[in-house]
């Protein structure tokens, strides 16, 4: 049975039998991997805590027919406890790992892996507001997957911008000639924030107010769920927290 080593971030876990757990990982070199961690739910498990959601670990695995088997796990970054201690960070991280789970398959995606690990690190350190980190992650992960939004030139005919009509089905802002009847028009300040989140311009993003962030988040949520074609179950909890 082939043995391989990789580092990965834990996306989710499921119980298996009385003491085992199925762990879904986004790895650095092997893409998404589902593997069995045997005995990790026992009190004396030597690496159970290293295989919780949001943890980054160095792993040794045996390649199996349907599920691989985790033989060793050493912690590389312990983000789980820090993220779980803050509700806004926890709900944002939950959306991130669900998105990564849906965007990635068995083929490797180093950029997606590094993006997710960087976003989880930023959440654990409270580098920026949790909703800003989440929205930036969503826009950038979709871009890596081939759905980069346009927030300047027309997404349909490429007419030079700026434009204000936002149509998620067409890939971003569109010119007056391409905009369907009734398409919403965004304020320039909202489009500027969206562009900052996409490019990682944190000075501009951090300077935005709560009202602007809320409107931008609505656009990001609509864009994400349209292109994933399946709703993000965890996103509703983030939306409820923002509304409080």
Structure confidence by residue, pLDDT tens digits, 80-101: 999 999 999 999 999 999 999 9
Mode of pairing for the β-strands spanning 32-37 and 68-78: parallel
State residue 106's pLDDT score: 64
State residue 243's pLDDT score: 39
- E strand map for the chain: 3-16, 20-27, 32-37, 55-62, 68-78, 165-167, 172-174
Q: Which two tokens stand for residue 20?
A: 């085992």
State residue 41's pLDDT score: 79
State residue 244's pLDDT score: 38
pLDDT in tens, 131-154: 999 999 999 999 999 999 999 999
State residue 177's pLDDT score: 96
Q: Are 159 and 177 in contact (CB under 8 A)?
A: yes
Q: pTM (2 decimals)?
A: 0.92
Query: Which residues of the chain are under the pLDDT cut of 70?
Result: 1, 43-46, 48, 106-108, 239-244
Name beta bridge partners: 37: 21
């Amino acid at each position: 049975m082939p043995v391989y080593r990789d580092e990965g971030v834990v996306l989710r876990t499921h119980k298996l039998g009385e003491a085992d757990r199925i762990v879904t990982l986004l790895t650095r070199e092997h893409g998404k991997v589902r593997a069995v961690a045997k005995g990790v739910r026992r009190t004396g498990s030597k690496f159970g805590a290293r295989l919780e959601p949001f943890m980054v670990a160095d792993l040794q695995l045996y390649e199996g027919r349907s599920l691989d088997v985790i033989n060793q796990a050493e912690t590389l970054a312990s983000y789980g406890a820090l993220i779980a201690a803050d509700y806004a960070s926890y709900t944002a991280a939950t959306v991130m790992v669900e998105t990564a789970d849906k965007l990635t398959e068995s083929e490797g995606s180093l950029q997606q892996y590094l993006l997710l690990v960087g976003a989880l690190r930023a959440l654990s350190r409270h580098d920026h507001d949790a909703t800003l980190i989440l929205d930036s992650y969503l826009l950038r992960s979709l871009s890596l997957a081939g759905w980069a939004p346009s927030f300047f030139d027309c997404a349909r005919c490429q007419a030079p911008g700026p434009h204000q009509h936002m149509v998620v089905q067409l890939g971003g802002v569109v010119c007056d000639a391409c905009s369907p009847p009734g398409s919403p028009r965004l304020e320039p300040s909202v489009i500027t924030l969206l562009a900052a989140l996409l490019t990682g311009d944190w000075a501009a993003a951090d300077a935005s107010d709560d009202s602007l962030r809320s409107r931008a988040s609505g656009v990001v949520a609509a864009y994400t769920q349209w292109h994933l074609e399946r709703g993000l179950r965890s996103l509703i909890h983030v939306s409820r927290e923002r509304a409080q």
